[in-house]
Structure 1
Amino acid sequence: MKNRQMMEQSILDSVLCVMVKPCNAKEMRSTLSQLGVMDKTKKTTTYGQVVVIPITEIAFKHFTNASRTCPNQNVDDSLIYVCITCGKISQINQEATSANQSCQCIQFKSCGSLNNITFHVAKIPLEKIRKKQLSPSQRLEDVLLLIFDNKNIPIDDDMKEKFPKNWEIHGDLVLFPSHCFNNDIWDSMTVEDWQKVLAAVGGKRLARSRGGVHSDGFRTPNVELLLGESGWVQHIDNGIRYSFDITKCMFSSGNITEKIRVANMKCDGETIVDLYAGIGYFTLPYLVHANAAFVHACEWNPNAIAALKRNLVLNKVQDRCTVYEGDNRQTCPSEVADRVNLGLIPSSGEGWPVACKALKKKGGILHIHGNVTSPPAGKNSSRLPQSMSPFVPESNALIDNTLAIETDVQMTESSLSCAFSVGHLEDKNLPSCNPENVPTKKAIPTCNLSNTSSRVANVKGQTSVDTSAHSSNDCHRLPDKKNSQQQSWQNWSYEVSQQIRQLCIEIKGGDWSTHVLHIERVKSYAPHIDHVVVDLECRPIKPDKTS
Structure 2
Amino acid sequence: MALVVSTEHAEVALRRLIELHLLHSYAKVHRAGHYIYLPLVSVPDDAFLPPHKIDSFDFEELPQRRTIKNVLGYTPSFDVIGDVAILPSTSLDPSAEAEAILLTQKNIHGVFQSIAPVTGEFRTRILTHIKGECGTKVKYQEYGLVYELDVAQVYFTPRLATEHYRIASKVGGGVVIDMFAGIGPFSIPIAKKNPNTTVIAIDKNRNAVQYLKQNIKRNKTKNVYAVIADSLMLPLGCNIASHLIMNLPHSAHQFLDEAMRVIKNEGIIYYYDITTEDDLYQASIQEMQTHAAGSGCSIDVVSQHVVRSYSPHHYNICIEARVNK
Pairwise same-fold verdict (TM > 0.5): yes
Given that 1:164 and 1:180 are in contact with CA atoms closer than 8 Å, whether structure 2 keeps it comes out as no
User: 1:6 is matched with which residue?
Assistant: none
User: 1:345 is matched with which residue?
Assistant: 249
Given that 1:262 and 1:290 are in contact with CA atoms closer than 8 Å, whether structure 2 keeps it comes out as no
Equivalent-residue separation in structure 1 for 2:270 and 2:215 (angstroms): 22
SS in 2 for 1:208: strand
Equivalent-residue separation in structure 2 for 1:278 and 1:262 (angstroms): 16
User: 1:525 is matched with which residue?
Assistant: 310
User: 2:206 is matched with which residue?
Assistant: 302
Equivalent-residue separation in structure 2 for 1:341 and 1:241 (angstroms): 21
Equivalent-residue separation in structure 2 for 1:204 and 1:515 (angstroms): 45
User: 2:149 is matched with which residue?
Assistant: 244
> Which letter does structure 1 place at the counterpart of 2:303?
H
Shift of 1:272: 0.9
Work out whether 1:329 is the aligned partner of 2:120: no
Cα 1:140–1:177 shift into 2, 3 Å:
farther
Shift of 1:526: 2.9
SS in 2 for 1:255: helix
Work out whether 1:253 is the aligned partner of 2:158: yes
Cα 1:169–1:274 shift into 2, 3 Å:
closer
Given that 2:81 and 2:158 are in contact with CA atoms closer than 8 Å, whether structure 1 keeps it comes out as no
Equivalent-residue separation in structure 2 for 1:373 and 1:196 (angstroms): 34
Equivalent-residue separation in structure 2 for 1:175 and 1:342 (angstroms): 25
Cα 1:365–1:292 shift into 2, 3 Å:
farther
Match of 2:167 among 237, 256, 262: 262
Equivalent-residue separation in structure 2 for 1:313 and 1:276 (angstroms): 19
Shift of 1:311: 1.4
SS in 1 for 2:148: strand
Work out whether 1:233 is the aligned partner of 2:107: no
* Larger relative strand fraction: 2
Match of 2:215 among 311, 314, 331: 311
Work out whether 1:135 is the aligned partner of 2:46: no
> Which letter does structure 2 place at the counterpart of 1:366?
I
Match of 1:371 among 270, 274, 292: 274
Equivalent-residue separation in structure 2 for 1:245 and 1:330 (angstroms): 27
User: 1:223 is matched with which residue?
Assistant: 127
Cα 1:292–1:262 shift into 2, 3 Å:
farther
Given that 1:249 and 1:303 are in contact with CA atoms closer than 8 Å, whether structure 2 keeps it comes out as yes
| Higher alpha-carbon Rg | 1
User: 1:492 is matched with which residue?
Assistant: 283
> Which letter does structure 1 place at the counterpart of 2:293?
Q
Given that 2:79 and 2:158 are in contact with CA atoms closer than 8 Å, whether structure 1 keeps it comes out as no
Shift of 1:322: 2.0
SS in 1 for 2:115: strand
Given that 2:114 and 2:128 are in contact with CA atoms closer than 8 Å, whether structure 1 keeps it comes out as yes
> Which letter does structure 2 place at the counterpart of 1:501?
A
Shift of 1:168: 4.0
User: 1:536 is matched with which residue?
Assistant: 321
Mapping for residues 58-73 of structure 1, pairs under 5 Å: none
Equivalent-residue separation in structure 2 for 1:496 and 1:281 (angstroms): 26
Cα 1:528–1:274 shift into 2, 3 Å:
same
Cα 1:530–1:338 shift into 2, 3 Å:
same
Shift of 1:178: 4.4
Paired residues, number: 260
Cα 1:172–1:536 shift into 2, 3 Å:
closer
Work out whether 1:503 is the aligned partner of 2:294: yes
Cα 1:260–1:133 shift into 2, 3 Å:
closer
Given that 1:523 and 1:530 are in contact with CA atoms closer than 8 Å, whether structure 2 keeps it comes out as yes
Shift of 1:232: 1.9
SS in 2 for 1:328: coil
Cα 1:521–1:176 shift into 2, 3 Å:
closer
RMSD between aligned residues: 3.2
Shift of 1:533: 1.5
Cα 1:504–1:177 shift into 2, 3 Å:
closer
TM-score by length of 2: 0.68
Cα 1:350–1:196 shift into 2, 3 Å:
closer
Cα deviation code 1:420-479 (max 9, x no counterpart): xxxxxxxxxxxxxxxxxxxxxxxxxxxxxxxxxxxxxxxxxxxxxxxxxxxxxxxxxxxx
Work out whether 1:211 is the aligned partner of 2:122: no
